[in-house]
Chain A
Amino acid sequence: MTAPHQAPLLRRMSLAAAAPVSAALLALVFSSIILIISGSNPLTAWGDMLSYGSRLETIVDALNRATPLYLSGIAGAIAFRMNLFNIGVEGQYILAAFMGAYVGGQINLPAPLHVATIMLTAMIVGALWAALAGLLKVTRGVDVVIATIMLNFLAISGLVAFMLPRLQEESDSLTTATKAIPSSGQMPNLNGVVELVTREIIRGRELTGMFAVAIAVGIIYHLFVNRTRLGYDLRASGINPEAARASGVPPKRMIMLSMALSGAVAGLVGMPEILSDSHKYDDAFIQKLGFAGIAVALLGRLSPWGIAAAALLFGFLDASGVILDANDQASREVVVIMQGVILLAAVIAYQVVTRYRARQEAADATAALLNEAEATS
């Protein structure tokens, strides 16, 4: 993509950085104001967050938090690339995690196979549930946003709520949960890998093995979208389905495919919790990751690196924000508000920069044309 009249490198780079940086600054200012209103000193609060956040254990927390956010972001991005707003990652990952945990508790296989079976089950369930929305779209013309919202309710309040008490392990425990996955179906942590370069990780923190899976998914996403024929077709169909159809890309098949792929990745979102943390699905299973993933995907502009940066930022804010509650300075809510403000400010800033860039390019082109005209005359 080299335009004939390209702006100098420095200006392009500063323009690219302008949006995220100004969004972060705006969020910082806004949340500082909130902190001041609530009677605490923002400087000490940020200082506390930084010093607590730079501890190895907090960084592990942040990475653990960022892992499902990243997967959820990628899941959303695959559909968004096709202009399909898959709001249903929420329902897809919860249904998938439930089925994965249930299957994992029932079977007994050698270690790598057991883990793989659980992950595969979850991915298939997620893909099927998402493909259902795709099917409604291509066969009946049902709007994807509304269909996935309905399917979210159906999955969480309907299917999972119905099956959980019926498939739960008979025991005297007070919570309803699926049978715990035996140790062969648990994913090893990555503490050993991290400790190669750092000191020993203490306080019982474990870096989830899904972190490595998330990195792999990111790389595959990058290669798929940017380096394969199918990924190109997908993007083309998303930008202009009619034009893509004219060049032999069937839009309906593309819709089904991107929904299924999106759902398959969504199936992995609950895996850190299932494979590395609680090893079962229970009433307290983590929710809202689907919506957070949408935020991360949009903040990262659907690029694998951008989503990674956004997921790490949100993960870091979540992990280090804990200190605000502990120090009784301000409440943790400030951090979540901050995430929301970053998101809103960033999408607005992206838009402003895009418009500015378009205007600049138009002006540059006009100037260049005028120069040429003068030179020839």
Chain B
Amino acid sequence: MTATMEKTTAAPSGLLNTWRNLRTPVRWMLYAFFAIFVLTIVQGLPFDDTERLTAGATASAMLRRAVPIMLAGLGGLVSERAGVVNIGLDGMMVLGTWFGAYGALEFGPWGGIVLGLIGGAIGGLIHAVATVSFGVDHIISGVAINIVSLPVARYLSDQIFTGYTGGSISQSPSVDATSKFSIPLLAGGFGGPDLLAEINDWDIPVLSNIADFSHGLFADVTWFTGLAYALVPAITWMLWRTRFGLRLRSCGEHPTAADSLGIDVYFYKYAAVMMSGGLAGVGGAYIAIEQSNIYKEGQVVGRGFIGLATVIFGNWRPAGTALGAALFGYIDALKLIDIEGSAIHAFLLVIVLCLSGVVVWAVTRKSKVDAVLAGVMATAFLTWYVLSDSIPSPFVKVAPYVIVLLVLVFASQRLRMPKADGLPWRKGDH
């Protein structure tokens, strides 16, 4: 519907129209190609001359690093779409790490995923009881859940993991991850040809870089990782293409109106918050089962909070949230792969380019403040880029947070959250 509306109002530029009429996945793919093109140029500059920004190893590390953040983000998204802010995601992830490891230990990795889901959903249930049934402020309840979850996990470890060899009050014995697969044809899965590796070997600038990066995304992926990414379109479909999703979102936009149409608002809010906890729990399980192969106290390190940030980064949409998570994952991956620090240094220039983009965009919209602000920041980052040849590791670590803050600084007024997000609602009160 929006497409037809745009067609009538849009400028008569043929190219722009063609672009707008492309299907969304195709457009996203072209965006990605363009991004890799920019990265290839930036990393080839004599300042750094590295290949790590587009390396396959970076891509596959990014893929894995992004999953827990993305799952937490999707969890936050589902909950906020139903009008409940879930700042307890972090605590639910902690429960997910413990239950995930326990399940993996007892029933294998898939059992771990299921138990992680249940563990997180229990956290979600508590949050739902407090916020939906009793009308407690959402932030308060979430903070309480975060506080409770750590000692609960420690207590459970003390009760159960100490009974295993290799387990203790702060960690579990090691557990197995799910098995791996590669995409057929493109990355040599199931004994077929490996096209992307082939193209990478041709050594054509940009094209081979794209192939290398994509190969990292498509080869040797664990089934759990694949499942996690399949959730992005699945949740988009659920929220925007099913009756259940429409009703769930209506509870986040205008619960009283939803109620007057006979929708059981409490039910949808409960469902959303428990789903949210379940997703965060699966994210936690991923950390324990796939990333560390062990449950260890404190291994979540605030990923739930980061997930919450990606929800806003992504403007309360699944694809945007996943993109935010990918950004965190990408910088995390660079930290792992980039030993001499030149790739991260090159990334500064990417930030400069993005800020310059903001300047151009602000000028076309005649918003002077944005233009000046972005211009000053771009100049500062450019100076830093030219004057240094590496970035101290603490700054690398916090780079994603800085980027999220920058995005919020320039986009906060354009973001649109669900209208009744975070407001306690009670049947019959309005």
Q: How far is the CA of A291 from the CA of B90 in the complex (A)?
A: 13
Cβ-defined partner of A143 (8 Å) among B158, B395, B408 = B408
Q: Contact string, B341-380, partner A, CB cutoff 8 A, digits 1/0?
A: 0000000000000000000000000000000000000000
Q: Contact string, B145-175, partner A, CB cutoff 8 A, digits 1/0?
A: 1111011101100110000000001000000
Q: How far is the CA of A352 from the CA of B412 in the complex (A)?
A: 35
Please tell me if B404 contacts chain A, counting CB pairs below 8 Å: yes
Cβ-defined partner of B154 (8 Å) among A291, A292, A331, A344 = A331
Q: How far is the CA of A161 from the CA of B151 in the complex (A)?
A: 26
Within 8 A of A (CB), among B224-268: none
Q: Taking CB as reference atom, which chain A residue is nearest B422?
A: A145
* A347 contacts B144, C-beta separation under 8 Å: yes
Chain A residues closer than 8 Å to B412, beta-carbon distance: 140-143
* A145 contacts B87, C-beta separation under 8 Å: yes
A-contacting 9-mer, from B37-45, B109-117, B131-139: B131-139
A38-B309 contact in complex given A154-B402, A344-B130, A351-B136, C-beta closer than 8 Å: no
Within 8 A of B (CB), among A133-161: 136, 140-143, 145-147, 149-151, 153-154, 157-159, 161
Chain A residues closer than 8 Å to B312, beta-carbon distance: 143, 146
* A341 contacts B148, C-beta separation under 8 Å: yes
**Chief secondary structure at chain B's binding surface:** helix
Task: Count residues of chain A with CB under 8 A from any CB of chain B.
Answer: 43
B-contacting 9-mer, from A56-64, A108-116, A332-340: A332-340
A295-B134 contact in complex given A140-B413, A150-B401, C-beta closer than 8 Å: no
* B397 contacts A157, C-beta separation under 8 Å: yes
Please tell me if A285 contacts chain B, counting CB pairs below 8 Å: no
Chain B residues closer than 8 Å to A159, beta-carbon distance: 394
Chain A residues closer than 8 Å to B401, beta-carbon distance: 150, 153-154, 158
* B147 contacts A347, C-beta separation under 8 Å: no
Q: Taking CB as reference atom, which chain A residue is nearest B143?
A: A294
Q: Contact string, B291-306, partner A, CB cutoff 8 A, digits 1/0?
A: 0000000000010010
Q: How far is the CA of A351 from the CA of B135 in the complex (A)?
A: 7
* B148 contacts A337, C-beta separation under 8 Å: yes
Chain A residues closer than 8 Å to B155, beta-carbon distance: 34, 38, 331, 333-334, 337
Chain A residues closer than 8 Å to B145, beta-carbon distance: 340, 344
* B143 contacts A295, C-beta separation under 8 Å: yes
Q: Contact string, B396-430, partner A, CB cutoff 8 A, digits 1/0?
A: 01100110110011101100000000000000000
Please tell me if A162 contacts chain B, counting CB pairs below 8 Å: yes
* A136 contacts B144, C-beta separation under 8 Å: no
Q: How far is the CA of A350 from the CA of B129 in the complex (A)?
A: 14
Q: How far is the CB of B146 from chain A (nearest CB, A)?
A: 7
* A140 contacts B308, C-beta separation under 8 Å: no
Q: How far is the CB of B80 from chain A (nearest CB, A)?
A: 12
Please tell me if B140 contacts chain A, counting CB pairs below 8 Å: yes
Q: How far is the CA of A73 from the CA of B395 in the complex (A)?
A: 30
Cβ-defined partner of B408 (8 Å) among A140, A291, A298, A333 = A140
A331-B169 contact in complex given A136-B409, A351-B134, A351-B135, C-beta closer than 8 Å: yes
Within 8 A of B (CB), among A15-70: 34, 37-38
* A38 contacts B405, C-beta separation under 8 Å: no
Q: Contact string, A197-228, partner B, CB cutoff 8 A, digits 1/0?
A: 00000000000000000000000000000000
* B397 contacts A298, C-beta separation under 8 Å: no
Please tell me if A85 contacts chain B, counting CB pairs below 8 Å: yes
Chain A residues closer than 8 Å to B14, beta-carbon distance: none
Within 8 A of A (CB), among B5-46: none
* B309 contacts A149, C-beta separation under 8 Å: yes
* A150 contacts B151, C-beta separation under 8 Å: no
Within 8 A of A (CB), among B180-226: none
Please tell me if A363 contacts chain B, counting CB pairs below 8 Å: no
Range class of the B interface residue count: 35 or more
Q: How far is the CB of B123 from chain A (nearest CB, A)?
A: 11
A136-B408 contact in complex given A343-B147, A344-B141, C-beta closer than 8 Å: yes
Q: How far is the CA of A120 from the CA of B234 in the complex (A)?
A: 53
Chain A residues closer than 8 Å to B319, beta-carbon distance: none
Please tell me if A348 contacts chain B, counting CB pairs below 8 Å: yes
A347-B308 contact in complex given A150-B401, A333-B158, A337-B155, C-beta closer than 8 Å: no
Q: Taking CB as reference atom, which chain B residue is nearest A164?
A: B394
* A147 contacts B408, C-beta separation under 8 Å: yes
Q: Taking CB as reference atom, which chain A residue is nearest B408?
A: A142
A347-B152 contact in complex given A149-B309, A294-B143, A295-B143, C-beta closer than 8 Å: no
A298-B148 contact in complex given A149-B305, A150-B309, C-beta closer than 8 Å: no
Chain B residues closer than 8 Å to A153, beta-carbon distance: 302, 305, 398, 401
Q: How far is the CB of B399 from chain A (nearest CB, A)?
A: 9
Q: Taking CB as reference atom, which chain A residue is nearest B313?
A: A146
Q: How far is the CA of A358 from the CA of B143 in the complex (A)?
A: 27
Q: Contact string, B271-289, partner A, CB cutoff 8 A, digits 1/0?
A: 0000000000000000000
Q: Taking CB as reference atom, which chain B residue is nearest A292?
A: B147
Q: Taking CB as reference atom, which chain A residue is nearest B169?
A: A331
Q: How far is the CB of B298 from chain A (nearest CB, A)?
A: 11
Chain B residues closer than 8 Å to A298, beta-carbon distance: 140, 143-144
A162-B392 contact in complex given A341-B148, A348-B136, C-beta closer than 8 Å: yes
Q: How far is the CA of A347 from the CA of B133 in the complex (A)?
A: 13
Chain B residues closer than 8 Å to A291, beta-carbon distance: 143, 146-147
* B394 contacts A158, C-beta separation under 8 Å: yes
Q: How far is the CA of A316 from the CA of B238 in the complex (A)?
A: 49
Q: How far is the CB of B233 from chain A (nearest CB, A)?
A: 26
Q: How far is the CA of A207 from the CA of B158 in the complex (A)?
A: 33
Known: A151-B405, A154-B401. 12 other contacts (CB 8 A): A38-B158, A85-B139, A146-B308, A149-B309, A153-B305, A158-B397, A291-B146, A331-B154, A331-B169, A347-B136, A347-B144, A348-B134
- Closest 6 CB pairs between A and B? A340-B148, A336-B151, A158-B398, A161-B394, A162-B394, A333-B155
Could you pull out 19 A-B pairs where Cβ atoms are within 8 angstroms?
Answer: A38-B158, A38-B159, A142-B412, A143-B408, A146-B404, A149-B305, A149-B309, A150-B402, A153-B302, A153-B401, A154-B402, A158-B397, A162-B392, A298-B144, A333-B155, A341-B148, A343-B148, A344-B141, A348-B130
